[in-house]
Structure 1
């Protein structure tokens, strides 16, 4: 590569804008490679597409991360650029989606005006493409490899059972974490996220004929219903807390007293102390209300990403946007979680929402604004460059 050059922010944005059509082409390839979290073959195929795109853009093949030892689910990818003895900036993303295989048949990748639609386009395949182009053009225009660890996992949508450990390890080694998840409304960055706990509650009853001898049964569904109603009290005193029963099942046949019942519960909380308190109270409430044997599994999965982790990076982002001649989009605290929560928990300065501008995550109307992809890529590239300079002082 040529000797290092001074980066001109306006030239950076101009070059990325010129690359818009190529970005959309690569986005289409990635969206068409469906990648539901629970489908190992599809994940492997999508990973291969992403690896090819990244290798072409970054001039280096990624490290393929180990499979999940629990179930063999494919691991993610890691590009480590720059001097090995330099603390990198961590770029974080995931290529798994919540959409089942076959979604593409009735909801194909389409671009209509400024909007691209298709499964996973906003959460978060456009963010991955933007991140790869950001690093590629940073290399091109400076003539050197930036100190970057570009980490893409394959299981974020199901709680990062394997990828979370790797995210945490790399966050601890990095000077900052920039998370390529989709932006908040209007393109805002995300300076805080709630923490996430989730639980499986199972009740064991006794089956009996619902017509002939229901008195000989113990209705697990009725007991679980009492538990679910009681759990509503956990959020009653704090409007920042949500306790949401999500999936439920019970019984075996229409005319049998249910001998088992099951519910999953999603809990979102604003800070670590509240997360610990709600965890203890949930166990207490279930124990007090249940009349039949029960089991609770699960618990805190992600601590909150609190605003203090993002304060300095927000100022860096504001400065970079000024240099690029772009408007400040604002920032927000949001209820959803990401691997950014894990980065912040590792003690690493973390800013989230640097990915696509769009909306509708996990919904049929999910979309990404393709006209904003160059400016978001330019912001990520300039932040990486500025953070690298700061560390070198």
Structure 2
């Protein structure tokens, strides 16, 4: 690796808005060395498959934004006795916003696993894909000289001088959103040539160019080096694979971005007594389809009653609903109420949703006892009235 510290007046571009900041931005250049797989299509491997061989990809002269390390990093020089082919790709482009992450990966920082794959397109053109957590990079490079047998290149163990002509990155390459959210997919381009950017959606086995007549969808072309796709008021139908296609003349490079919809279920529990005592747990408007439900009785797993469930119902907005039912016994008179807990797990939830329903004990039949008590009280009251009237008559006779 090499460094060449210098200052340059630059522009900082944010993904959601353009922020111009005129300032001295520190930059330096390095060589980044990455272990890579050389992938070739091979019709003899399980039908249509790929053979892979270990190679080294060197991104030479990469401009990094930030302060130069206190110790100068050495230039990369291929070893005299090569144990694998080296693709030496010169990067004569503007500063790469993600270059420092690649540099840390090469230096062995923990927690950053990198995947790298390079494939030939024809005798001089190659495409490399570099993937890190939350970052995807595609590189188009041209070999300095035509290569007659690209399929034998990895076995030759040679140095292949190249120049990077086009580079596209996305961060993150996969996003999740809930219904009615807003999401922005980014496709950043580095190139010394004029390029055009188109967006496509791949879904259910078919693909199409995005319909820009949809008022929820906006494509921001901040400049020739960035394209942002914003979707407002997300719906289930927006889920799919979005492809950012960058074209320069006859050459094309693309980034694949995944958008997943995650909508948590709305859970309610109700207890009904007619015709039988039933506890119902309703899970409504969730996406995707799979949902798991289990029951607790007074805090312990339910064993003596088996629930039954309805079929999935597809709502108009593409979400799903389902219900789980329990026919339960009623506690004896004087006992404590039974608490049934519906526990719902779904991919959109960090922790399960737990909703309780209470089944009250039977009421004692007091009709006969009440009748006897009323009759007794009536007799007592009538007796008191009779005795009072008799007493009043005797008093009247004494007065006369």
TM-score (norm 1): 0.23
Q: Compare relative contact order (CA 8 Å, sep 6+) and give the higher one, 1 or 2.
A: 1
Structure label with greater radius of gyration? 2
User: Which protein is richer in helix relative to its size?
Assistant: 1
Structure with greater strand share of residues? 2
